[in-house]
Chains A and B, each alone.
Chain A
Amino acid sequence: MGSVRRHVHIDRDPDTVWKLVGDLARQHEWFPLTSCRVEGRKRWITLPSGITFEEDIITHDHSLRRFQYRMVGNPGITAHLGTCDVLDDGRGGSVVVYSTDMEPEALALVIGGAAGEGLAKLKQMLEHA
């Protein structure tokens, strides 16, 4: 199983960060995606290469500020769990942690790279808003 984790510190309070991160239809605003579509507990994301992934929304907990999802309907992906947490840093800021566990493990690295870029953009967006 490929397991990756990226994080970023954002100088904004957790509720402000979660307002954007927790809006699952807006992830393409900060993650390298071209679109997100949410219907109930389902989401479809489209990548800049044109590939679309179907996802089951596993956890969407506003009190925990946690989002978890699973890529489904793709025979090439035999296991997947993505998790994004917005944590209170105790000093008025936030730490956003994005982790992915999946098979094939090679793809975990690719999603980890995208998450790193996404988190950097999220920080830039929120701190310069």
Chain B
Amino acid sequence: MGRRILFITTDQQRYDALGCNGGSVARTPVIDALARQGIVYDRAHPQNVVCMPSRSTMLTGQHVSTHGVWMNGVPLAADAPSIASDLRRAGYRTALIGKAHFEPFIDPFLRFAENRIGSAGLETEMVVGADGLPTPHRGFEHFALATHGGVGPFHYARWLREKNPAAAAMFFPVLDQQLQVNAGGGGDTNAPQVKHNEIPREMYHTEWVADQTIAWLSSLPADADWFCWMSFPDPHHPWDPPKSELGRVNWRDIDLPPGYIEDASEREHVLDDKPLHWRLWYDGTFVSNYEAPAKWVPRTLTADNVREINAMAHIENELIDEAIGRVLASIGARGWGDDVDVLYTTDHGELQGDYGLMFKGPYHVDSLMRLPLIWRPAASAHVAPSRVTAPVGLVSLASTFASIAGLQQPDYAEAARLPHADGEAGALGHERVLTEWDSVLFGKIVGARTICRDGWVCTAMLPGTVHDGTEGELYDLVNDPLQRVNLWGDSRHTAHRDALLDDMWSSLPTRVLPLRPCDAPV
């Protein structure tokens, strides 16, 4: 028997969502305890700030330029490397429970395995592997799939329709009739993508993901090694937790987040100091991607909208924390407690009111890039707790899982395992972390490449629809933690900026061409 792995992800969660990272709204005692017992990464970035590319990086250990999932809607190649496949070959039982999203959701042609598996209510789909032998899709022998509501082909939606046919309509409809992210609002303040959801808590997807995880783990023999990816769809929009839980956080009682600039003229001055696409989106004149409602204009966002959305997100964070507590208790009851490594992270952040903006897009600042990342090694591994300040990326997860299982770093993985402490970060190559953005939406082209190292974050905007390739962003994370002062054009920092860019361009992997086609909006 080896060390088992519980990999917990949320969706669209900020670093400051958790108590262990300074969050003061949501109570997250279970995750905070994991943090005290383990390693907290204070500068963990995704390699892309939307779901499909980021999740593909987690699974493959590769940057976006290599795995090729450059935007939501671009499917990960069916034969892409998968750490789950490696673990399964090493004898691990494997499951992915909750949100996968390596393949597009909108798929009436059922071209993609996730949708076929969900539609048919299967556990997995067998394919012929590179060795000519049957192997389960992406290495997972068990899928129980869910997304942000009760609509669609996945297992959760099917279960919900069976339990309560009216329940799907209780959620906020994420997409509108034109299949765009719904610009409508609700709640008390008509905040975008907010709804008071009548669904009973026990039928909410957070509870279902935990229940399904407990059920799958309960099905395993006591001596099994296992890798379980428990993937919560929250706190991604829509913000519609069960109405019964709204008393946890009253939006009227919470402070505005530090990143929200109340004064409109000051806010717009900060936006105007950034590359042009920031202000154009704020004004609603340039929507570069599907990850925000195309018909919603950010400048209409009110302070009370921000409070209410934050309250709803934090209610969802609390529900996740409690669900994890149930799963950990179940693992303890099986006698596995000392032999389970727990890794906790998310795929990307959320603007959540910062700069007067919501949702996500080509905005490479802490709101979207600084992620919660915690590794609580198995007690049997005797790894000392620490906080790591060195920059790390989700690109290291695959190698970390391999190391836990006693495997060599996979030859396809582009980063070493996560460090146990700052002292070994340099030796493992954790000097910088890179993030890429590419969107091409019916002729609207935006590209960005970002490096973070030595307390600085530097983004080069690529030539596109609104940029000529000379624009960018440079922030001093120590002296400007909210990234309000763009030093890109400040002559005092030109040499440093150029050194960062040189390091970034020489560190980015060569982009695999031709680009994989975008086959759906999401």
Contacts and interface: CB of A to CB of B under 8 A. Distances in A.
A35 to B, nearest CB: 13
A116 to B, nearest CB: 6
Contacts of A90: none
A79 B260 CA distance: 40
B120 to A, nearest CB: 11
Interface string B485-522: 00000000000000000000000000000000111110
B442 A106 contact: no
Interface string A100-121: 0001111101101110110000
A110 B517 contact: no
A47 B180 contact: no
A106 B177 contact: no
A109 B521 contact: yes
B177 A109 contact: no
A112 B104 CA distance: 13
A49 interface: yes
B178 interface: yes
Q: How large is the interface on A (under 10, 10 to 19, 20 to 34, 35 or more residues)?
A: 20 to 34
A3 B442 contact: yes
B179 A47 contact: no
Contact of A117 (B111, B119, B518, B520): B111
Given A106-B178, A117-B111, A49 B520 contact: no
Contacts of A109: 73, 518-521
Contact of A104 (B108, B119, B178, B520): B178
A49 B519 contact: no
A127 B104 CA distance: 29
B106 interface: yes
Interface in A61-78: 76
User: Max chain A CB contacts within 10 Å: which of B108, B179, B518?
Assistant: B108
Nearest to B180: A106
Interface in A34-91: 47-49, 51, 76
A93 interface: no
Q: How large is the interface on B (under 10, 10 to 19, 20 to 34, 35 or more residues)?
A: 20 to 34
A6 B520 CA distance: 14
A106 B108 CA distance: 12
B445 to A, nearest CB: 15
B290 interface: yes
B109 A76 contact: no
Contacts of A104: 177-180
Contacts of B519: 109-110, 112-114, 116
Contacts of A51: 108
User: Max chain B CB contacts within 10 Å: which of A103, A107, A116?
Assistant: A107
A114 B109 contact: yes
A103 B290 CA distance: 15
A113 B104 contact: yes
Contacts of A76: 177
B110 A48 contact: yes
B517 A47 contact: no
A32 B178 contact: no
B107 interface: yes
Contact of B109 (A2, A6, A49): A49
Contacts of A110: 104, 106-109, 519-521
A114 B107 CA distance: 9
B110 A47 contact: yes
Given A47-B108, A110-B108, A110-B109, 12 more contacts: A47-B110, A48-B110, A49-B119, A106-B178, A106-B521, A107-B106, A109-B519, A110-B521, A112-B517, A113-B111, A114-B111, A116-B517
11 contacts: A32-B109, A47-B108, A49-B119, A104-B179, A104-B180, A109-B73, A110-B108, A110-B521, A112-B519, A114-B109, A114-B111
Interface of B: 73, 104, 106-111, 119, 153, 177-180, 290, 442, 517-521
